[in-house]
Structure 1
Amino acid sequence: MLVQRLGAPSDFDPLLERVRDARIVMIGEATHGNYDYYRLREQLTRRLIAECGFSFVAVEGDWPDCDRVHRSVIAAPGGAVDPRTALERFERWPTWMWANAEVSRFCAWLRAWNVERPEDARAGFHGLDVYSLWESMQAIFDYLGEEDPTSLEAAQDAYRCFEPYGKRVEEYGMASRFVSARCEEEVVRLLARTREQAAADGPDSFSAWQNAEVVAGAERYYRAMVHGGPESWNIRDTHMTDTLDRLLERYGPGARGIVWAHNTHIGDARATEMAADGMVNIGQLARERHGADEVVLVGFGGYRGTVTAAPRWGSPAEAMVVPPARPGSVEHRLHELMPERAVLVFGGDDQPDWVTGTADHRAIGVVYDPSFESWGNYVPTRLGERYDAFVWCDETTALHPLPALTTPGEMETYPAGV
């Protein structure tokens, strides 16, 4: 194991040496609301793009919202000149995950980087998640209306199937338990027609295809969610992994991707109790599909500080105090052993017991109650198996949300919020 104190972006050199030949680098976060995690992730990502030639960043966010950001950062015709304008259009709660000053700064840098390069060499920004059923449906209408009006019937049939449930599509999942409310056949037909039309080259065609995949994934997700258990989680993370693979194929031979998501998604589930509960995640699936040598998983963690989160689902975000990590946890041990900022690169035969053994590892979602620290918010983890590297921040501060018009959104990751 190698430990490097962090003070400047150049201090990530040992980690860049580790990812030199990887096709996928997943960079996590222990919360969705810390400035320090986002800032350090930004520094690492800039170097991966500028020095290692990575092709795109794919985040734990909705495809339509992120597609507006993508069009801005690649300077596409009709895209916003300032990426912040696109980020401020995020409406689905919790908006602060991506509509924040830290992501805005990165996207401004990415646009400046891209405009100096040929169009086919520009790095993109994409959403991996499954939630945007209505937004994706509208995007398909817009696309088919211009490109293939004869396929509009399939889109209208799918829309009419969901329409009785309004924007609360989790009610569709609940109804499917008792009556024949499954829209699966209509969605499959829509997906087939959109795939057929999107077979032609072009970014608009690919985006329409992905929106159809979102609609199909959302139908499965909300139908599974009401039954409880791991199935809806697995549908979501499999969808995100499938989207990542489609992006790698879309960018062509030699494409390399960066993923931004919560530790709970990017850290290999097999190194946690998630596996015993029948859960998978994108870190595990990517290792299985591409091979461990092609995938580098980078976790994050901190000892104490502040975080942007909400006290309950759908409520306004606020800066909350994160108390010191509980004794025996990964974070408590690193607080005792590490400098204030450090990157740990795992590997070799000299790894200490706290890297190879099991210890509690803190995970904070968008809904957070610090009083739960005594019994919740921790995932038993074998750190050196869950991640290839780990970025340590002893004390963290809350990130800075952008002004946004927030709508409640569906239940989504309720109640975990990761």
Structure 2
Amino acid sequence: MTRYGDEVAALAAPLTGAGDFDVLLDRVGGARVVMLGEASHGTHEFYRWRAALTRRLIVEKGFSFVAVEGDWPDCDRVDRAVRCAPDAPDDPRDALAAFERWPTWMWANEEVVDFTRWLRAHNSGLDPRERVGFHGLDVYSLWESLREVLVHLREHDPAEVPTALAAYRCFEPYGESARDYAMATRLIPTGCEDEVVDLLVRLRERAAGGDGGGGDGGGAFRVWQNAEVVAGAERYYRAVLGGGRESWNIRDRHMDDTLARLLDHRGPGSKAVVWAHNTHVGDARATAMAAHGEVNIGRLARERHGEDQVVLVGFGSHRGTVVAGDSWGAPVRELPVPPARPGSLEDVLHAAAPGRALFVLPRDDRPDLLTDELGHRAIGVVYHPERDHRGNYVPTVLGDRYDAFLWFDETRALHPLRVRHVDALEPETYPTGA
């Protein structure tokens, strides 16, 4: 047994079913935000158990919506399906199968189908204003969101169409290629920023005096959020070719702002469950990210809402299989996940924890396992198993990064839906695929 063996044994609680989450729900208490991570975007157990915990948070704690590391327009179609909108498909699977952006399998998979079908059934017995939503936090959908703005304005506010068209025509020469737009901003640094800001200001004002409020995802709020995505994406793509912290921070600040808007939109007492990668969920201040000047939504949420109002839950595994691509935009493949690097957090837990375990991490009198810095594996949508031990590990102080941790010694790949071939027009994310 490793030097941490006794500490692991004292902290670990076997995880056999959703009933074992009682101690974690006690820790959640009256918190307004619970963030549930994943060590990869392609692992069945992370999705299955995250959904099981979310169901309990919704039923027993009254959480208002699930917000995921996904695009607003795609997730809005899922939201309308799970909230039983009359113009939405009866089966959320149809909305998930329409996801177009690589990697589609992040959300277009059987595990998310199971959860969203449950959510629709749960919502069908509620007043429409109380139904639990499903929303995207991410920043990538520049052209999709701009088209959504135009469609909405043409039907509901034709006077604002010229402003939206000005933004659309500014982007039109780049053929919906974010890389081409990013390259062009090296010559014209402001790019389409002026047109986008003009559009955003107008739609913010419209939403402030329109159909905001309530829980029905009203039109003015949805079109405003699409405009916020356009603005965030334009900033992101201007920064992304430079790599490093600027583009990462733009993306996570956008996700944090979107989460805050959703909470405000749902009104007093609203509460959010967030699904995203550990690199976004776990507090960046407890990792090497902080030394690089990077923030993330876990840290930003704690700072915005207060540490007692935010619960961060990480996930991890020792070995198994995962779905990922071997390059950006490549076809999805099932890949092996080798045993974890010696001395890593995953190696320590493999030696001493049950095969499935829940750790609710104490705030005081913390053992060395929670205060020492250990490597913690992170697998993105691009993954090379043969390079696993040379990269893929984030130096982490476990007790500061998370409030709780779910452990699965051996995991298996999730089950992607069959979707049509998609092109990856966006530059690769930084860091890779998180």
TM bracket (short chain):
over 0.9
* Conserved? CA contact 2:240–2:427, under 8 Å: no
Cα deviation 1:167-188 (Å, max 9, x = unaligned): 1122212211123561111000
Q: Which residue of 1 aligns with 2:215?
A: none
* Aligned partners of 1:28 and 1:260 also within 8 Å: yes
Matches within 5 A, 1:304-323: 304-323=319-338
CA contact (8 A) 1:131 1:412 kept: no
- Number of residues of Structure 1 aligned to a counterpart in Structure 2: 418
The residue that corresponds to 2:433 in the other structure is 417
- For the Cα contact (< 8 Å) 1:313–1:414, is it kept in 2? no
**After TM superposition, what 4+ stretches of structure 1 lie above 3 angstroms from structure 2?**
none
Q: How does 1:141-290 map to 2 (within 5 A)?
A: 141-179=150-188, 182-199=191-208, 200-202=210-212, 203-290=218-305
Is residue 82 of structure 1 aligned with residue 91 of structure 2? yes
Q: Which residue of 2 aligns with 1:40?
A: 49
Partner of 1:394: 409
Task: Quote the offset at 1:50 in angstroms.
Answer: 0.5
Tell me, yes or no, if the aligned pair for 1:305 and 1:323 is still in contact at 8 Å: yes
Residue 228 of structure 1 and its aligned partner are, at CA, apart by 2.1
SS of the residue corresponding to residue 33 of structure 1 reads coil
Partner of 2:6: none
TM-fit CA distance, 1:130: 0.3
With over 3 angstroms needed to count, the CA separation of the structure-2 counterparts of 1:142 and 1:380, relative to structure 1, is: same
Whether the 8 Å CA contact 2:12–2:354 is kept in 1: the answer is: no
RMSD: 1.1
Are 2:40 and 1:25 aligned? no
2:247–2:430: 8 Å Cα contact kept in structure 1? no
SS in 2 for 1:308: strand
Contact 1:24–1:256, Cα closer than 8 Å, also in 2: yes
For 1:320 and 1:226, locate their aligned partners in 2 and report how far apart those are by CA, in whole Å.
Answer: 29
Q: Which of 391, 404, 408 in structure 1 is aligned with 2:419? A: 404
The amino acid that maps onto 1:72 is: A
Within the alignment, does 1:113 sit opposite 2:129 as a pair?
Answer: no
User: Does the alignment pair 1:302 with 2:317?
Assistant: yes
For 2:296 and 2:45, the matched residues in 1 are separated by 24
Once the two structures are TM-superposed, the CA of residue 147 in structure 1 deviates from its matched residue by 1.3
For 1:276, what is the secondary structure of its paired residue? helix
TM normalised by structure 1 equals 0.98
Deviation per residue, 1:6-56 (Å, 9 max, x gap): 001000111000001100000000000000000000100000001100000
Partners of 1:63 and 1:126 within 8 A in 2: yes
Q: Tell me how far apart the structure 2 counterparts of residues 246 and 361 of structure 1 sit (CA, whole Å).
A: 32
Q: Which amino acid aligns with 2:141?
A: S
CA–CA distance in 2 between the matches of 1:75 and 1:244? Answer: 22
Does structure 2 retain, via aligned residues, the 8 Å contact 1:330–1:360? yes
Whole-angstrom distance in 2 between the partners of 1:72 and 1:408: 26
Relative to structure 1, the CA distance from residue 239 to residue 97 in structure 2 (aligned partners, 3 Å threshold; closer, same or farther) is same
Q: For 1:86-113, what per-residue CA distance to the aligned partner results, in whole angstroms no more than 9, with x for missing partners?
A: 0000011100000000000000000000
Which of 54, 63, 75 is matched with 1:66 structurally? 75
Q: Distance in 2 between matches of 1:370 and 1:169?
A: 29
CA distance in 2, matches of 1:335, 1:363: 16
Provide Cα deviations, 1:257-293, integer angstroms capped at 9, x if missing partner: 0000000000000000101101000000000111100
Aligned residues with identical type, % of pairs: 61
CA apart distance, 1:162: 0.9
**Match runs of 1:100-139 below 5 Å:** 100-139=109-148
Q: In the alignment, which residue of structure 1 is the partner of 2:23? A: 14
| Amino acid of the structure 2 residue aligned with 1:372 | R
* Contact preservation (8 Å) 2:340, 2:389: no
Contact 1:358 1:383 (8 Å CA) reproduced: yes
Cα distance between partner residues in 1 of 2:430 and 2:299:
22
1:374 maps to 389
- Confirm or deny that 1:336 pairs with 2:345: no
Distance 2:164 2:364 in 1: 56
SS of corresponding position for 2:34: strand
Distance 2:188 2:267 in 1: 44
After TM superposition, the score normalised by the length of structure 2 is 0.95
Q: Counterpart amino acid of 2:341?
A: R
Asked if the contact 2:79–2:133 (Cα under 8 Å) also holds between the matched residues in 1, the reply is yes
Structure 1: gaps (5+ residues)? none
CA deviation after TM superposition for structure 1 residue 412, in Å? 4.6
Aligned partners of 2:267 and 2:412: how far apart in 1?
39
